Chain A
Amino acid sequence: GAVVSQHPSWVICKSGTSVKIECRSLDFQATTMFWYRQFPKQSLMLMATSNEGSKATYEQGVEKDKFLINHASLTLSTLTVTSAHPEDSSFYICSTRESTDTQYFGPGTRLTVL
């Protein structure tokens, strides 16, 4: 399956600051990537679909101005959490989609906002 990396693996920041998370597809060109959020003991919730060269598609209830997604190349998508607050603390995971529609996930980024 596809190999996906994320950076950083964990980050702690102060309330009000912005945090950027990178998602890289290491072994194939990904026109589509997905961003998920997972709160403790809960399942993965899709936040947005990231499309190379165009605007991301956000799920209902996800603020596009707060969670900025940029997919500028076929191997990199970034998620920026702007003006982070403690309630944004979560595990953020990206995935890429292969031609078979199977999604392969990155290792995730644990964000803690103080």
Chain B
Amino acid sequence: EDKVVQSPLSLVVHEGDTVTLNCSYEVTNFRSLLWYKQEKKAPTFLFMLTSSGIEKKSGRLSSILDKKELFSILNITATQTGDSAIYLCAGGVIQGAQKLVFGQGTRLTINP
């Protein structure tokens, strides 16, 4: 059975700290790893990673994939209160159209 596991499940830090969120996956027919940010409603897309070792960056957020060890990390530097959200990672599975298998999410809280 396809499985995506995120850690930690919950994280509370102070504004300005750097955080690293982890995602490991066991997915057959793996194609890509996606990160999303979910605030009050539906998830918003952050990154899609398909190649090992190539960092993707967007402002203070960055992510990298290790296809040998089957994990990905999401880094957020200089955190702000607006970064408080649930961060979801998902393994993309080739099954006709690619479908996503989501992890449980990491609830990140940034205190001022």
Binding site for B on A (CB under 8 A): 1, 32, 34, 42-46, 49, 51, 57, 93, 97, 100-108
Interface-lining segment among B12-20, B54-62, B75-83, B93-101: B93-101
Tally inter-chain residue pairs, CB-CB below 8 A: 51
Residue of B nearest to A1 (CB): B45
Set of chain A residues within 8 Å of B97, measured between Cβ atoms: 32, 49, 51, 97
Interface contact A105-B44, CB-CB below 8 Å: yes
Main secondary structure of the interface of B (DSSP, over half): strand
> Chain A's nearest CB lies how many Å from the CB of B63?
14
Binding site for A on B (CB under 8 A): 31-32, 34, 36, 41-45, 48, 88, 90, 92, 96-105
Interface contact B88-A43, CB-CB below 8 Å: yes
Contacts A45-B102, A101-B92 known; 18 new A-B pairs at CB < 8 A: A42-B104, A44-B43, A44-B90, A44-B102, A46-B99, A49-B96, A49-B97, A49-B99, A51-B97, A93-B42, A97-B98, A101-B32, A102-B34, A102-B45, A103-B100, A105-B36, A105-B44, A107-B41
Set of chain B residues within 8 Å of A101, measured between Cβ atoms: 31-32, 48, 92, 98
Residue of A nearest to B97 (CB): A32
Set of chain A residues within 8 Å of B36, measured between Cβ atoms: 105
Set of chain B residues within 8 Å of A34, measured between Cβ atoms: 99-100
> Chain B's nearest CB lies how many Å from the CB of A59?
8
The one of A32, A43, A51, A106 that contacts B102, using a Cβ cutoff of 8 Å: A43
